């Protein structure tokens, strides 16, 4: 018997924000960047209940690039939302850089999300009326924090857009807009960058540029977790997790796009 749940699972005890700050640098983080422990998510509605995740356990190592693939409805977006603290598991635990999200109250979770996690979506979610610079600075402004111009320009620099900081989204290509969204996500130097179909709205060539950028960020120490339908996109990752019916049913490491596509086909036929 364990006196506390922590001792049973081997998870980190109480969170400290100091530790999270250290987690910005993959080398200084000894535990996983993200850990899911027996995560279940049941959606309940009048129509009945859907078990979108059924006991998912996985540790995402710091400084790695993971792709999540699986048939439509297999639970990919649910997994990403829960791993990122945007949604809470029905059962199980999620920790990011050693912080158990279940132990944070709503205010602490919002604050933690703002600094420790970055999000990139298929549809960029930029404000057309603001310049690239102001889009990157917006989360800090909304949080009532002073804008660190150097940090904003550095984030734009990391995505190769420092020279276009004064442009507004309608004056940028789709790929450039997604880069601005990535810069916005990187601005706080998050422990983990989560991306749900980041290349879904881009043509193949532009999509590859964005994937190469994500790959470079990982090579510089960033942890990235990306949901994708595209085996070519997944081939940029270090490993691909396959979900089916709410469970992790396999993974491939350093696989090429053809191998990943074959595994996906098998899953979709199953």
Ligand X SMILES: Nc1ncnc2c1ncn2[C@@H]1O[C@H](COP(=O)(O)OP(=O)(O)OP(=O)(O)O)[C@@H](O)[C@H]1O
In the complex, which residues of this chain contact ligand X (CB under 6 A)? 43, 45, 50, 52, 70, 72-78
- Closer Cβ to ligand X, 7 or 268, answer by number: 268
Under the phi-then-psi rule, with left for phi > 0, alpha for psi from -120 to 50, and beta for the rest, what region is 250? left
Q: How far apart are CA 211 and CA 191, in angstroms?
A: 19
CA distances for 162 relative to 96, 139, 159, angstroms: 30, 18, 8
CB of 75 to ligand X, least distance (A): 4
- Closer Cβ to ligand X, 72 or 107, answer by number: 72
CB of 71 to ligand X, least distance (A): 7
Q: How far apart are CA 13 and CA 20, in angstroms?
A: 13
Q: How far apart are CA 247 and CA 92, in angstroms?
A: 14
CB of 232 to ligand X, least distance (A): 17
Element (H, E) at 250: strand 247-253
- Closer Cβ to ligand X, 77 or 131, answer by number: 77
Which of the choices Mg ion, ligand X, none does residue 231 contact, using the CB cut-off of 5 to 8 A by kind?
A: none
Q: Which residues bind Mg ion (CB under 5 A)?
A: 77
Which of the choices ligand X, Mg ion, none does residue 75 contact, using the CB cut-off of 5 to 8 A by kind?
A: ligand X
- Closer Cβ to Mg ion, 80 or 186, answer by number: 80
CB of 73 to Mg ion, least distance (A): 8
Among 255, 251, 250, which Cα is nearest to 231's? Answer: 255
- Closer Cβ to ligand X, 41 or 93, answer by number: 41
Q: How far apart are CA 36 and CA 79, in angstroms?
A: 9
Which of the choices Mg ion, ligand X, none does residue 43 contact, using the CB cut-off of 5 to 8 A by kind?
A: ligand X
Which of the choices Mg ion, ligand X, none does residue 72 contact, using the CB cut-off of 5 to 8 A by kind?
A: ligand X
Under the phi-then-psi rule, with left for phi > 0, alpha for psi from -120 to 50, and beta for the rest, what region is 109? alpha
Return the CA Rg of the chain.
Answer: 18
CB of 6 to ligand X, least distance (A): 28
Which of the choices ligand X, Mg ion, none does residue 205 contact, using the CB cut-off of 5 to 8 A by kind?
A: none
Q: How far apart are CA 270 and CA 89, in angstroms?
A: 27
């Amino acid at each position: 018997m364990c006196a506390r749940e922590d001792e049973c699972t081997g998870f980190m005890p109480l969170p400290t924000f100091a530790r999270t700050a250290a987690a910005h640098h993959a080398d200084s983080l000894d535990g996983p960047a993200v850990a899911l422990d027996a995560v279940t998510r049941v959606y309940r509605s009048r129509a009945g209940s859907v078990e979108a995740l059924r006991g998912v356990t996985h540790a995402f190592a710091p400084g790695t690039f993971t792709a999540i693939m699986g048939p439509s409805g297999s639970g990919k977006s649910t997994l990403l939302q829960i791993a990122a603290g945007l949604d809470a598991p029905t059962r199980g635990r999620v920790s990011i850089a050693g912080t158990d999200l279940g132990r944070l109250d709503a205010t602490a979770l919002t604050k933690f999300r703002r600094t420790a996690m970055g999000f990139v979506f298929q549809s960029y979610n930029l404000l057309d009326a603001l310049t690239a610079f102001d889009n990157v600075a917006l989360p800090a402004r909304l949080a009532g924090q002073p804008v660190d111009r150097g940090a904003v320009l550095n984030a734009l620099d990391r995505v190769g857009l420092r020279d276009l900081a004064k442009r507004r989204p309608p004056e940028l290509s789709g790929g450039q807009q997604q880069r601005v969204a990535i810069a916005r996500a990187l601005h706080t130097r998050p422990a983990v960058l989560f991306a749900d179909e980041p290349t879904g709205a881009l043509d193949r060539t532009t999509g590859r540029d964005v994937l190469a950028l994500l790959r470079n960020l990982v090579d510089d120490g960033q942890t990235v977790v990306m949901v994708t339908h595209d085996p070519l996109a997944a081939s940029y990752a270090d490993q691909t997790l396959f979900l089916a019916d709410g469970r992790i049913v396999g993974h491939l490491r350093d696989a090429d796009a053809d191998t990943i596509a074959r595994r996906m086909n098998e899953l979709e036929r199953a």
